[in-house]
Amino acid sequence: MTEAHMLLSVDFDAYPNGSAPPDDWWVEGGERVWVDDGHLRVKADPPGARDPGYVCTVWHKTPVDGELHVAFDAHVIDSSCDANNINFFLLYADPAGTPLHETRGDRADGAYGHYHGLNGMIVTFLNDTDSGSGKARFRMRRCPGFRLVDENYDYHCRTGVTYHVELTRLGGEVACAVDGTTYLRWTDPDPLARGLIGFRTYRTDLWWDHLRVTRPG
């Protein structure tokens, strides 16, 4: 098999503790985003359920395209409502062609609805608090339209656990695996051409690290 081609490799060990995210990232919403003990820490869990900062999106400025393998680690420190919300935005772009960085002020509070009219995939991995099953809830949505295309209740999403998340886009098929098991899979009849990746959370204090984006060999 041909060796995969690295498109993006990000770790946070080289940045000072307590520093802001590196220049190739930007933030929408959240209470605070900073480098904490070699991780990208995102705190979006204020005292009130809808207090400012209860949602957050952290974008990387580098667009990606084609067949992709995305991998990262995520670790929930706390969530006052037990959401343990680990979300990921894949291949996000404005249908009008305007770079998302230029319109970031329109999404300064990170409200979820700002992203539903854009092109992109949303992959959600969180604790199933609705039924109290103790399992994780996995969802995949296609935007624009926030259309649910796959869903699964399995495994777990707990505080204090480091999860290894992988997303693949091969041809039109998009899949999501956690700790080596695939939980979501869907074939897009109109595959997205090019866009940004972003970390997303809701009412959760967590960190992210070891982001790798490769082109499969």
Determine the Cα–Cα distance for residues 188 and 170; give it in Å rounded to an integer.
10
What is the spatial distance between Cα 67 and Cα 70, in angstroms, rounded to a whole number? 10
CA distance 95 to 88: 19
Which single residue is written with the structure tokens 């949303």? 122
Nearest to 12 by CA among 25, 30, 28: 25
CA torsion sign for 202, 204, 210, 216 is negative
What sign does the dihedral 85-173-152-183 (CA atoms) show?
A: negative
**Which of 75, 86, 82 lies closest to 128 in space, CA to CA?**
82
pLDDT tens by residue, the chain, 217 residues: 356 799 999 999 999 999 999 999 999 999 999 999 999 999 999 999 999 999 999 999 999 999 999 999 999 999 999 999 999 999 999 999 999 999 999 999 999 999 999 999 999 999 999 888 899 999 999 999 999 999 999 999 999 999 999 999 998 999 999 999 999 999 999 999 999 999 999 999 999 999 999 998 7
Domains in the chain: ranges and CATH: 5-215 (2.60.120.200)
Q: What pLDDT score does 3 carry?
A: 63
